[in-house]
Structure 1
Amino acid sequence: MEQQNSTARGPGFLRIAGLGAATALACTALLGAGSSALAAYFARRIITPDRIKTEEDELLAVVRGPEGLEGIFRATPETTVDGVYSFHFNGGAGHARIGAITSYSPLEGTVQRRIEAVYSGDIHHVRWGRWGGATYSDPGGLGLEFQEVTLESDIGAFPAWLVPAPVEPDGGRRSRHAAGAAQQVWAVMVHGRGATRLEGLRALPVAQELGLTSLLISYRNDGEAPIADAGRYGLGSTEWREAEAAIAYALENGATDVVLFGWSMGGAVSLQAADLSRNRHAIRALVLDAPVIDWVDVLAFQARLNKIPAGVGRYGQLMLTHPLGRRLTGLSAPVDLKSMDWVSRAVELRTPALIMHSLDDDFVPPGPAERLADRNPGMVDFVPFHKARHTKEWNVDRERWEVTVRDWLSSQLEERATPGAAH
């Protein structure tokens, strides 16, 4: 799940258009007559995909630098943070990878950065775009072989990228990990709300290093998989079935175990799969980046962020969870938010989980993830990041992200492969 700067309605979450301070005051005055309508609107925005991504990050000029093209961007809280990012433009038809800062002028409000690659579109004639974390166009952008495969769930066929494990000198694709001599571990990567399979590409280098075959999946209503439930998100309560289908595909094709990677809402999807999948015994571990651990906490935060009165926000939550709310939300069935509250259910989580979350995340606050780790330290390791905001932990500090995942996941693989260890 990606975001833009905090003044724009990002593609990943709920910067609701038109809800400023003046609107909030008006809503408070109309709480009696208008609260139901506003609550219904809030609830629908939560579960409705953003089909059109707003492009509100300004590219002022493209110039020639000493090492190639560079872009001069309007300085924002995101464009001025070190790291590697994506810049989508022309309604998503254009995609570039943006690298290091070469100059920054706070007085002029501009920042100049290297343009590392342009995957599609003509960036020379672009004024507006969307800043994000999906820095590659497909696995081929990382120099990896891959193929498009089709998986099946209750919604029908949906696409995924299959990235094989590295080839061994003997021509085999068995895990290169020391513990992998008698096993094949696959990674299933689940993107967040408003994002696509591109989100998981950042995890491929470390997955390859560990010798994992990877499946980067789509799921219902993400723009690639079929539309289901009137085009409404289930916030993880329905999307986990695509993760389950991916797990089944992996097991049918030689995997002995899987690791679920999940970003933002993809974290909620992964937790549901670990809880509900018929193949949950095969889920070796969870690697979660800025995951949604408790939707009630996230929705309350989003209501405050959008200056929605607290009572209206709670009313919107009720509409999502009550059968009578379906007429207003468009859901085919209520969303059980309680079952996705993993702070309250902490002791029920029996799958080892690594959670990486930036402490300044202003879309999915890290508090629930920290509390989950505190309540179940035997299963959950929480690693804080800084300055990454939402789902950009890798972008801000790729080396730390990859070392953290590699070391933690290596220990999980070794522990579970030890003779006599519980499976």
Structure 2
Amino acid sequence: MKPQRHADHVRGREITRPRVTGTVAGAVAVTGLSVLAAAAAAGVVLVGAVARKVVVPARDRPSESRILRLDRDAGTIELVATPDTVVPGRYGSWVAKRAAYVQLGDIIETTEASVVRTLLGGDVDSLRVGQDSEFSGWFFRRPEELGLPHIDVEISTELGPAPAWVVHPEDGPSTKWAVLVHGRGTTRSEALRAVPTFRAAGYSCLLVSYRNDGDAPPTPDFRYSLGDEEWRDVDAAIAFSREQGATDVVLMGWSMGGAIVLQASRRTSHPELIRAVALDSPVIDWVDVLQHQARENRIPGLVGRVALLAISRSWGRLLTGQATSIDLTRLDYVANAADLTLPILLMHSDDDGYVPAGPSRALAKARPDIVTFVPFDVARHTKLWNYDPERWSAAVADWLDGLEGFTTP
């Protein structure tokens, strides 16, 4: 290709530039479009992956800690230090991909890298040094561990029978019932911690399962709705309690279970039964939670925003596999604070680490007439009872006592 002369000069010297033929220009344009198309495709894949992580139930929970040392004779275990494992209180720990479970107690020693805690019970003989440890706030796995009689029942939901536990007060079945709803990625075992407090206050306790939690029947798409559909299973549980003689029902939920019971309280077919709502580390605004998680996981802001749109718009179902989109606006209880009428007990830790406490505080500020806010500061996510069971139980008991004098605004 011969150079083409131009009237350009550099310090008086004539310079030449190569001629760009149509063929070369076209190739450059096509290459550029290909790069843009590849980048767009990669972006779509990333958005889909982020959105699916929100709505697809996880089969395996991450194990952020590991067993470093065991002393069965002394009854101690040393774990890798994490923000959760170094918090005082009583906890549980799953090991070997949930093949075994142990109960952990007081902290004996901490270093920058590890923490030594007491072993209180569980599958201690199954523990081995080097096993991953999934720290849990459940503590109890079965009602038998509370030393209380219980009944295994099934709730008739639109998807089929969902297993549940019933624990009555010492005097027998009550007309006051507490429907206890676990959070995302857990089971009804999470709610066992609340049973003694409600039982002592005269409530029959119904610990429920709901769609896609591994116990209740799954949906055909096997996708969470973040409370936008799960509330139907809780409504079926309310109907069950009515059949058993309930005249007053308190709903309590942990984390996503909080979003579920708030939806149930607003959309139930049995509104005359619902007396109040109690919330532990609840999701008050899913957009706030998901944006927080995106930042924590260093997901680009634009990807996070588009992923939010994907789970809430019909076009996004192609990426997520959802049968129906999620109405995130309906799940924002700060924006919808004026629609709430029932008394609410709201407990949240400022260092939650997973679900920021900001929306809980905003709801408490917006509706001081109905919200009793009990703040914690070092209890982490859904581990308020574990960190300070006396304070947690007293807060619930006092609030339940105060319901007798509450009048709807």
Fold conserved (TM > 0.5)?
A: yes
Whole-angstrom CA distance in 1 between matches of 2:183 and 2:371? 20
Q: Is residue 87 from structure 1 mapped to residue 77 from structure 2 by the alignment?
A: no
Residue aligning to 1:154: 158
Q: How far did residue 123 of structure 1 move?
A: 2.2
1:293-332 equivalent positions in 2, closer than 5 A:
293-332=284-323
Report deviation, 1:276.
0.3
Q: How far apart in 1 are the matches of 2:129 and 2:41?
A: 48
Displacement after TM superposition at 1:216 (Å): 0.6
**Residue type of the partner of 2:287?**
V
Task: Give the SS at the match of 2:152.
Answer: strand
For residues 311 and 408 of structure 2, what CA distance do their matches in structure 1 show? Answer: 39
Q: Give the superposition deviation at 1:37.
A: 1.7
Aligned equivalent of 1:46, options 54, 59, 68: 54
**Structure 1 equivalent of residue 405 of structure 2:** 415
How far apart are residue 220 of structure 1 and its match? 0.5
Q: 1:248 aligns with which of 212, 222, 239?
A: 239
> Whole-Å Cα distance in 2 between the matches of residues 324 and 93 of structure 1?
40
User: Counterparts in 2 of 1:78-117, with a 5 A limit?
Assistant: 78-106=84-112, 109-117=113-121
Aligned equivalents of 1:229, 1:315: Cα separation in 2? 25
Find the aligned partners of 1:120 and 1:164 in 2 and give their Cα distance: 31
Question: Does structure 1 residue 122 correspond to structure 2 residue 152?
Answer: no
* Aligned-partner SS, 1:230: coil
Q: Deviations over 1:337-356 (max 9, x none)?
A: 11111111101001111110
Confirm or deny: 8 A CA contact 1:320 1:335 kept in the other structure: yes
1:267 — aligned with what?
258
CA–CA separation in structure 2 for the residues paired with 1:110 and 1:296: 34
The answer to whether residue 186 in structure 2 is matched with residue 191 in structure 1 is: no
Q: Contact conserved, 2:184 with 2:256, CA < 8 A, in 1?
A: yes
- Pairing partner for 1:37 from 45, 50, 62: 45
What secondary structure, in the 3-state scheme, does the structure 2 residue paired with 1:231 have? Answer: coil
Q: Would you say the 8 A contact 1:93–1:121 is kept in 2?
A: no
1:227 corresponds to: 218
RMSD between superposed Cα atoms in Å: 1.8
For the Cα contact (< 8 Å) 2:68–2:129, is it kept in 1? no
Q: Which residue does the alignment assign to 1:205?
A: 196
Shift of 1:143: 0.7
Relative to structure 1, the CA distance from residue 121 to residue 257 in structure 2 (aligned partners, 3 Å threshold; closer, same or farther) is: farther
**Higher relative CO (CA 8 A, sep ≥ 6), structure 1 or 2?**
1
Tell me if 1:145 matches 2:135. Answer: no
Amino acid of the structure 1 residue aligned with 2:151: Q
Over 3 Å counting, the alpha-carbon distance change for 1:269 and 1:101 in structure 2 is same
Cα offsets for 1:136-174 (capped at 9, x unmatched):
12111011111210001111111001111212xxxx544
Q: Which amino acid aligns with 2:47?
A: A
What amino acid is the match of 2:379?
A
Identity %: 42
Q: Is the 8 A contact 1:273 1:280 kept in 2?
A: no
Q: CA deviation at 1:120?
A: 7.5
Match of 1:13 in 2: none
Could you tell me which amino acid in structure 2 is paired with residue 134 of structure 1? W
Matched, 1:379 2:385: no
Instruction: Give the unaligned 5+ runs of structure 2.
Output: 1-37
Question: Which residue does the alignment assign to 2:140?
Answer: 136
The normalised TM-score by structure 1 is 0.84
Deviations 1:242-290 (A, max 9, x none): 1101110001101111111100000000000001011122111111001
Supply the distance in 1 between the matched residues of 2:41 and 2:211 (Cα, whole angstroms).
Answer: 35
On the 8 A contact 1:88/1:129 being kept in 2, the answer is yes
Separation in structure 2 between the aligned mates of residue 39 and residue 408 of structure 1, nearest angstrom: 43
2:255, 2:355 within 8 Å by CA — same for their partners in 1?
Answer: yes
**DSSP-derived class of the 1:39 partner:** helix
**Matched-pair contact (CA < 8 Å) for 1:119–1:137:** no
What SS class does the counterpart of residue 281 from structure 1 fall into? Answer: coil
Check if 1:334 corresponds to 2:325.
yes
Matched residue SS, 2:214: coil
Q: Distance in 1 between matches of 2:303 and 2:69?
A: 43
> Aligned residue for 1:12?
none
Q: Secondary structure at the match of 2:272?
A: helix
- 1:362-373 alignment to 2 at 5 Å? 362-373=353-364
Distance 1:355 1:408 in 2: 10
Tell me the CA shift for residue 125 of structure 1: 5.9
- Which residue identity lines up with residue 95 of structure 2 in the other structure? F
2:249–2:274 CA contact under 8 A, matched in 1:
yes
Change (3 A) 1:38 1:263: same
* C-alpha contact (below 8 Å) 1:360/1:386 kept by paired residues: yes
Q: Which is further off, 267-276 or 370-379?
A: 370-379
| Residues in 2 aligned to 1:272 and 1:138: alpha-carbon distance in whole angstroms | 27
Helix, strand or coil at the partner of 1:340: coil
Q: Is the 8 A contact 1:93 1:120 kept in 2?
A: no
SS of equivalent to 2:245: coil
TM-score normalised according to structure 2 size: 0.87
Summarize deviations over 1:204-244 as a string: whole Å, max 9, x none. Answer: 11111111110111111111111104110010011101110
Find the aligned partners of 2:102 and 2:72 in 1 and give their Cα distance.
16
Whole-angstrom distance in 1 between the partners of 2:357 and 2:60:
28
Contact 1:97 1:135 in 2 (8 A): yes
Q: Which residue of 1 aligns with 2:78?
A: 72
CA distance in 1, matches of 2:109, 2:237: 44
Q: Structure 2 CA distance, aligned partners of 1:385 and 1:224?
A: 31
Residue among 331, 335, 344 paired with 1:344: 335
Distance 2:195 2:219 in 1: 29
1:101: how far off?
1.0
